[in-house]
C-alpha cells in the first residue's frame, strides 16, 4: 500500500497539527487527503493520543466506517445521502506495540482503514489531543485487540462508542491471568506508570486463572486496584464474559460457562466481593452476558461466539464483541462513570 507522509507543523503554544504541504495544497485536495489511498490513510506521528476528524460523503450516497491500528473499530458505519457531507470526530491511542502488549510492534504512526458498504472520505484531519480522558483496559483475549479475523475482543470494538475527547488504551493481552499480568514486565509494570489522574482503568481478568486459588486471586485484584489508585486512576472491576456452554435445560453451565475454576473458585463472586470491600465500581458483565446468551438460546447465541467458525465458545466474533462492548458502554453510563455526551448510543 502506498503511503504519503504528512508535514508536521508545531506551533509553539498549540501543539502539532497535520496538514497538507504547500505543494500538495496547490492541488486543491482537502487537507489530510494526501495521506490516504482509496481505502486507507497513514500519518507519521509519534506515540500519543490524537483527535481525528473525518468529513464523509460525496456526490453519491455513501456509508463509511473507520477502523485503525490493529483492527480497532473507531467510528461505526455512518450513512450520508447523495450530495451531502457529515463530519465526525473520535480520539485514538497510538503506541508501540499497537495491538497486544506482548505482540509485534506493528506499523509506526497512525493507520486508519475505511470500510462500510460504500465508503467515501472527503477530508480528514489529525491533531494531538489536548487533555483527553482515557479508558485503560486490562484483560485477556476476550478483551484484547485481536490481530486477525474472525476473532475480536470487546475492547477492540469499544472505541466506536466513544466521541472525541475520550480514548481507549487497550492493554489486554491473550492468555493472561491475574498472576501472569502482574509478573510480566511488558504488562503491569509497563501499564501502571502510564496511568494518569482521572483515567478509568477497567480490569477483566479471570478466564486464565484456572489454577489460581481464591486467596491469591483476591490478593492479585487488590494489588491491581491499589496500584491504579496510587497513580490517581479510577479502577473499575469487570466480571468476565460467560463461555457459551449450555445445560440440557437451556441454562448456562454453573462451572465452565460461569467461570468457576477447578479449585472451586467462583471468579465473578470474588470480583464482586473485592469491589464491595474496596468500594470499587463494578460492571457485572458475567450477569449481563449470561442473561443475553440464555435469552438467545443454544442456536441464537452462536453468532456471538466463534462456535461455527472455530468450534470456540469462549472467544467472540466481531458481532459478539460489538454487542458486549455496548453492554460495557451502557454500564459505564448507568454508573455515571462517563458523561452521556461522551458516548455514542443507538
Average pLDDT (81-93) is 98
Indicate if 43 and 162 belong to the same structural domain: no
Indicate if 105 and 141 belong to the same structural domain: no
Q: Is residue 337 domain-resident? A: yes
Indicate if 231 and 272 belong to the same structural domain: yes
Q: Is residue 175 domain-resident? A: yes
Q: Is the pLDDT of residue 13 over 80?
A: no
Give CA–CA dist 29/7, Å, rounded. Answer: 15
Q: How far is CA 84 from the centre of its chain?
A: 30
**What are the pLDDT digits (tens) for 64-73?**
999 999 999 9
Q: Identify the bridge partners of residue 114 per DSSP, sorted by sequence position.
A: 66
| Beta-sheet strands, E only, within 59-185 | 62-68, 72-80, 85-94, 110-118, 121-128, 133-139, 166-170
Order of strands across the sheet that contains 234-238: 166-170, 133-139, 200-204, 234-238, 282-283
Indicate if 260 and 120 belong to the same structural domain: no
Indicate if 324 and 300 belong to the same structural domain: yes
For residue 147, the domain's CATH number is 3.40.50.1110
Whether a cis peptide bond, with omega within 30° of 0, leads into 150 is yes
Residue 29 pLDDT level (bands cut at 50, 70, 90) = low
Give CA–CA dist 164/144, Å, rounded. Answer: 22
The pTM (predicted TM-score) of the whole model is 0.91
Closest CA to 38 of 115, 126, 106, 150: 115
Indicate if 62 and 194 belong to the same structural domain: no
Indicate if 125 and 150 belong to the same structural domain: no
Joined grid coordinates for residue 33: 487527503
DSSP assigned state of 219? H
Cβ atoms of residues 244 and 250 within 8 Å: no
Q: Is residue 143 domain-resident? A: yes
Q: Identify the bridge partners of residue 136 per DSSP, sorted by sequence position.
A: 169, 201
Give CA–CA dist 296/304, Å, rounded. Answer: 10
End position of a domain, from candidates 98, 130, 162: 130
Q: Which residue range forms the structural domain that includes residue 310?
A: 131-346
Cβ atoms of residues 147 and 315 within 8 Å: no
The CA dihedral of 84, 118, 115, 29, to the nearest 10 degrees, is: -50
Q: Is residue 25 domain-resident? A: no
Q: Is residue 224 domain-resident? A: yes
Q: Is residue 22 domain-resident? A: no
**What are the pLDDT digits (tens) for 201-260?**
999 999 999 999 999 999 999 999 999 999 999 999 999 999 999 999 999 999 999 999
End position of a domain, from candidates 76, 106, 130: 130
Helix (H) or strand (E) holding 218: helix 214-230
Indicate if 283 and 148 belong to the same structural domain: yes
Q: Is residue 190 domain-resident? A: yes
Q: Is the pLDDT of residue 338 over 50?
A: yes
For residue 75, the domain's CATH number is 2.60.120.260
**What are the pLDDT digits (tens) for 93-145?**
999 999 999 999 999 999 999 999 999 999 999 999 998 999 999 999 999 99
Helix (H) or strand (E) holding 200: strand 200-204
Query: What sign does the dihedral 133-138-143-144 (CA atoms) show?
Result: positive
Number of domains within the chain: 2
Residue 38 pLDDT level (bands cut at 50, 70, 90) = confident
Query: What percentage of residues in the chain have a pLDDT greater than 90?
Result: 89
Residue 11 pLDDT level (bands cut at 50, 70, 90) = very low
Q: Is the pLDDT of residue 12 over 60?
A: no
Indicate if 256 and 135 belong to the same structural domain: yes
**What are the pLDDT digits (tens) for 265-318?**
999 999 999 999 999 999 999 999 999 999 999 999 999 999 999 999 999 999
Indicate if 276 and 145 belong to the same structural domain: yes
Give CA–CA dist 87/63, Å, rounded. Answer: 13
Q: Is residue 9 domain-resident? A: no
**What are the pLDDT digits (tens) for 183-195?**
999 999 999 999 9
CB half-sphere exposure, 221, CA atoms < 13 A: 31
Q: How many residues does the chain have?
A: 346
Indicate if 108 and 160 belong to the same structural domain: no
Cβ atoms of residues 271 and 218 within 8 Å: no
Indicate if 231 and 338 belong to the same structural domain: yes
Q: Identify the bridge partners of residue 243 per DSSP, sorted by sequence position.
A: none
End position of a domain, from candidates 130, 153, 180: 130
Give CA–CA dist 296/290, Å, rounded. Answer: 10
Amino acid at each position: 500500500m502506498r503511503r504519503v507522509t504528512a508535514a508536521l507543523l508545531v506551533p509553539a503554544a498549540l501543539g502539532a497539527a497535520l496538514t497538507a504541504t504547500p505543494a500538495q495544497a496547490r492541488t486543491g485536495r482537502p487537507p489530510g487527503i494526501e495521506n490516504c489511498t482509496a481505502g486507507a490513510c497513514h500519518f507519521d506521528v509519534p506515540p500519543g493520543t490524537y483527535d481525528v476528524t473525518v468529513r464523509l460523503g460525496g456526490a453519491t450516497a455513501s456509508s463509511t466506517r473507520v477502523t485503525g491500528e490493529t483492527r480497532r473499530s473507531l467510528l461505526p458505519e455512518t450513512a450520508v445521502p447523495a450530495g451531502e457531507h457529515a463530519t465526525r470526530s473520535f480520539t485514538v491511542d497510538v503506541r508501540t506495540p499497537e495491538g497486544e502488549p506482548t505482540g509485534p510492534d506493528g506499523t509506526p504512526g497512525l493507520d486508519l482503514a475505511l470500510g462500510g458498504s460504500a465508503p467515501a472520505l472527503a477530508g480528514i484531519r489529525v491533531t494531538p489531543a489536548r487533555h483527553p480522558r482515557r479508558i485503560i483496559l486490562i484483560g485477556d483475549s476476550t478483551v484484547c485487540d485481536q490481530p486477525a479475523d474472525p476473532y475480536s475482543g470487546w475492547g477492540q470494538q469499544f472505541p466506536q462508542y466513544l466521541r472525541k475527547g475520550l480514548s481507549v488504551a487497550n492493554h489486554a493481552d491473550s492468555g493472561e491471568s491475574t498472576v501472569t499480568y502482574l509478573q510480566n514486565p511488558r504488562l503491569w509494570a509497563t501499564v501502571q506508570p502510564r496511568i494518569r489522574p482521572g483515567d478509568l482503568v477497567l480490569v477483566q481478568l479471570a478466564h486464565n486463572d484456572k489454577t489460581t486459588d481464591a486467596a491469591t486471586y483476591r490478593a492479585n485484584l487488590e494489588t491491581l486496584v491499589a496500584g491504579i489508585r496510587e497513580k490517581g486512576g479510577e479502577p473499575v472491576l469487570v466480571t468476565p464474559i460467560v463461555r457459551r456452554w449450555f445445560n440440557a435445560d437451556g441454562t448456562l453451565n454453573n462451572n465452565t460457562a460461569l467461570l468457576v475454576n477447578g479449585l472451586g473458585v467462583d471468579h465473578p463472586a470474588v470480583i464482586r466481593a473485592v469491589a464491595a470491600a474496596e468500594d470499587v465500581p463494578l460492571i457485572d458483565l458475567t450477569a449481563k452476558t449470561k442473561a443475553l446468551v440464555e435469552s438467545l438460546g443454544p442456536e441464537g447465541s452462536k453468532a456471538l461466539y466463534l462456535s461455527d467458525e472455530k468450534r470456540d465458545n469462549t472467544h467472540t466474533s466481531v458481532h459478539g464483541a460489538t454487542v458486549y462492548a455496548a453492554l460495557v458502554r451502557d454500564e459505564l453510563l448507568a454508573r455515571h462513570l462517563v458523561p452521556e455526551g461522551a458516548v455514542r448510543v443507538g
